[in-house]
A = this chain, B = another copy of it.
Amino acid sequence: MKITLAHGSGGLSTGELIDEIFASRFSNPVLDKMEDSAVIPGAGTIAMTTDSFVVDPVVFPGGDIGRLAVCGTVNDLLMRCARPKYLTCGFILEEGVDSELLAEVVTSMADTAKEAGVIIVAGDTKVIEGNGGFYINTAGVGFVDDGVSCESANCKDGDVIIVSGNLGDHHAAILSNRMHIENNIASDVAPLNDMVFNMINDGVNIHALRDITRGGLGTILNELADASGTQMDIYEEKLPIDKEVEGFCKILGLDPMYMGNEGKLALVVPAEDADRALNIIRNSKYGESAAVIGNVVSGSGVVMHTKLGGRRGIGVLVGEGLPRIC
């Protein structure tokens, strides 16, 4: 079946689309009520976030837009040490979308939501003119435990910077696919619940957490430095990068500092907690390549100590690295 404008009418065809594609795959007692909004248990402090996903292609090595749409929002909640609970999803479909492709993506969303421990409580579908593309927005709510404070401004002189694994995988996978280059590079898109809650449950004093997405590690470290009034010193030789991705970057002249991941985080912790945090992440799902990459010092901006012994200032990404990466 091909999607038509009638599927966005709000009438019979919309109902059929919802029944056939969405309702069965996302089914839960909250969503099944099909009301104007979901009424659900809350908490004293909540986290809330949103992301839209326009990745091209919608299915890529290692994942698809559905898995991405769940992970992106779940990870943003985790970055404030919130327990992800509820997602909403809004689909904007261009006419001509193949319903089998849509069903595949929705199945992937449902599977990823299950992995990440969230339920989809509300949704919306619109149809626009076009040529078979589609976009997904997700918004999420998580619960924040009493006394937890995890934000960029908390980074302190003396803290240690850890990244949870290899840089640039998602960017390299999307670009390889778009350039029709055959290799073994796959997106790292994944929900990071496991590593974050293993650290929280073990009492790691998390100062700041950021997931490494658009703009790459370089941009995110600058945001951490700006928000906290500190300098981020990192060491090029310590940056974890997959060999194949590294080769791919060298050939194309890409800088992994500005390449997006979709299943990696940057963590800032006090020095005394660094070894423990690193061990916990390495023993968590999706964290096997984690590494300490540098330190927070007094100053401003981001400085990379290069392999050749020099120092290089790292700014935020200028221009567009790769359009529609997420």
Contact = CB atoms under 8 A, between A and B. Distances in A.
What band does the interface of chain A fall in when counting residues whose beta carbon is under 8 Å from B? 35 or more
Given A10-B219, A37-B82, A317-B11, A141 B48 contact: yes
B50 A89 contact: yes
Contacts of A92: 52, 54, 92, 135, 137
Interface string A189-216: 0000000000000000000011101111
Interface of A: 4-6, 8-15, 33-54, 75-77, 79-80, 82, 86, 88-92, 121-129, 135, 137, 139-144, 151-153, 209-211, 213-216, 219, 223, 227, 258, 260, 315-321, 323-324, 326
Contacts of A6: 319-320
13 contacts: A9-B320, A10-B219, A10-B317, A12-B319, A35-B152, A36-B210, A39-B151, A41-B44, A41-B46, A50-B90, A50-B137, A52-B92, A141-B141
Nearest to A258: B11
B36 A49 contact: yes
B320 A8 contact: yes
Contacts of A227: 34
B319 A11 contact: yes
Contacts of A219: 10-11
Contacts of A91: 52
B45 A151 contact: no
A141 B75 CA distance: 19
The 6 A-B pairs at the shortest CB distance, nearest first, are namely A10-B214, A11-B317, A139-B139, A10-B215, A37-B49, A50-B88
B11 A143 contact: no
Contact of A80 (B39, B46, B127): B39
A45 B37 contact: no
Nearest to A72: B124
B9 A140 contact: no
A42 B44 contact: yes
Given A11-B219, A42-B42, 19 more contacts: A5-B320, A6-B320, A9-B321, A11-B258, A11-B321, A12-B319, A37-B47, A37-B82, A38-B47, A39-B144, A40-B48, A49-B88, A50-B123, A51-B124, A52-B92, A52-B124, A53-B126, A92-B137, A137-B139
